[in-house]
Structure formats: structure tokens, C-alpha cells
Amino acid sequence: MNRFLKLFVPGLIVILVVVFVLFGLDSKSLDTSKTCTYQIINTYPHDREAFTQGLFYEDGVLYEGTGRNGYSELRKVELQTGKVLQTYELSEEFFGEGITVYGDKIIQLTYLSNVGFVYNKETFELLREFNYPTAGWGITNDGKQLIMSDGTQKLYFLDTETFQQVRQIEVYDRGVSVWGLNELEYVEGQIYANVWPTERIARISPKTGRVISWIDMRGLLTGQDYAMQVDVLNGIAYDNEKGRLFVTGKHWPKLFEIKLVPAK
């Protein structure tokens, strides 16, 4: 791909995403019978400097991937305090994206470099790199395969050893493609996806790509929270043992444990 296309294509994708989100997924187009809201169960501190791109919970701690060139990191974070316990800094050429924990490894994507990284979960030692042909946005796993987003309406299922694509699905709601699929989490047989740049999370069937329901996340932050820079909702983590669901956003001062509530 020549230099012009490398610069042009990512911008075109962003424009298309915004168009699809604003005109295909506005509040009037959503089936309100399939929309949930939330109840805040607990609120925890979150590092305002973290441009959160990926989030994962396991064994009492959070693993977080952050973005922006020159600021991208892999982190281990204490849930209760938000204290960063361990870090791995990416080279300035990489814009870090989503992460997932698979077995004793952590897998992290990058935005436009077509490169992913595999780390030792305990030591953060970089074990290997792998390549993929699309942009990298979010990643999760269902215990058998990796599931990856690239900011479009597609989700890609990858082999956990070779990182080759096994299959793909297109995500839709009542026949309308859902673009902007970002950070992912696999929760009790469903794929949860932040939809950039909205305050909604889609709950997706991994078999068909159909949106099973929406979670309306508006109102999480207070006016005081907006007194300093914050960015979009992004970051979903699930505690499989206790059934706890956590969400946060880029440059957010808080991380929330929430309970889903069917809309009335």
C-alpha cells in the first residue's frame, strides 16, 4: 500500500464509522425492548492518564492496555485503589489497543501497525509477535478462540496458536450493520462490545452476529468528572467467578462495577 493510501484509509474508516453510528444507530432506531440500563454497585479509582484501550479481570487484579504513541503500556492494576502494580512500555512507534488474557499469556493489539504482542502474564516478558491484515481495536476470547475487532462491523475469530483467521461475522441490529466495534469482552456466551464513539455497549451473539440487546451507559460520570479531560467510554472487564461487570473509559477518573437492569 502506498504512502497516500496508508494515510487515507484509516481516516476514511473513521468517517464511515461516525456516519454509520450517527445515522444507523441513533436512539430512535434502537428497539427499546432490547435495551438495558445499569445500576452502579461500586466505584473505584482509575488513573486519569490511562487512555484505556483494553481491560481484563482475573485473579483479583485488572490488566489494562493503554494507547497513544509514546504512552502505550500494558499494566497490572489493583482494583480497589487503582494503583499500577506492573507495567510494560511499548515502543513509541506503536499505538496500543485491546488486550485479553488467555491461559498464562496476555495478548495485545496495536492500532495501525498490523502487529500484536504476546506476553508472559506473570512477568510481562515479551514472548513473541504476530501479524494481522486489518487495524487492531479490541480483542477477547471465548476459551477456545480469540475474537478481534477492527473498528468496522466485523468480528474476526482467530486461532490461539497461529493467530490465523478461522471465521468472521458481521454484527447487525434488525438488518442494520453496527460499525465502530471497539473494546470487547466475552461474558457468559455473549460478546460485549463498546461501540465507538457512543455510550452504548452491544451484547452480540458470537454465532450469528445479531445484537441481542443494548446497554445504555449514559450518565456514569458526574459533571465534576468532566471538569478535566475525559474521552469516550471504553473498557469492559468481567469477573467470571463472582459475576461482576466492570466498565471505564479513556482518561476516566473512575472505574465502575455495574449490574444490568432491564429498561422499563
For the chain, give every domain's residue range.
3-262
Long-range Cβ pairs for the range 168-171 (8 Å, 24+): 169/206, 169/207, 169/208, 169/209, 170/209, 171/202, 171/204, 171/209, 171/210, 171/211
In this prediction, residue 4 carries a pLDDT of 38
User: What's the average model confidence in pLDDT over 78-88?
Assistant: 98
Measured from the Cβ of residue 137, the count of other Cβ atoms closer than 10 Å reads 25
**Residue scoring higher pLDDT (101 or 16):** 101
In this prediction, residue 29 carries a pLDDT of 42
Percent of the residues in the chain that have a pLDDT greater than 90, as a whole number: 85
pLDDT 10s digits, 85-141? 999 999 999 999 999 999 999 999 999 999 999 999 999 999 999 999 999 999 999
**Residue scoring higher pLDDT (86 or 7):** 86
Closest CA to 34 of 214, 186, 202, 178: 214
User: What's the average model confidence in pLDDT over 213-232?
Assistant: 95
- 34 pLDDT band, cuts 50/70/90, is confident
In this prediction, residue 10 carries a pLDDT of 54
Strand, coil or helix: 172: strand
Indicate the CATH number for domain 3-262: 2.120.10.30
In this prediction, residue 227 carries a pLDDT of 87
User: What's the average model confidence in pLDDT over 63-88?
Assistant: 98
In this prediction, residue 31 carries a pLDDT of 45
**16 has pLDDT over 70:** no
In this prediction, residue 123 carries a pLDDT of 98
> Are 165 and 178 spatial neighbours (Cβ–Cβ below 8 Å)?
no
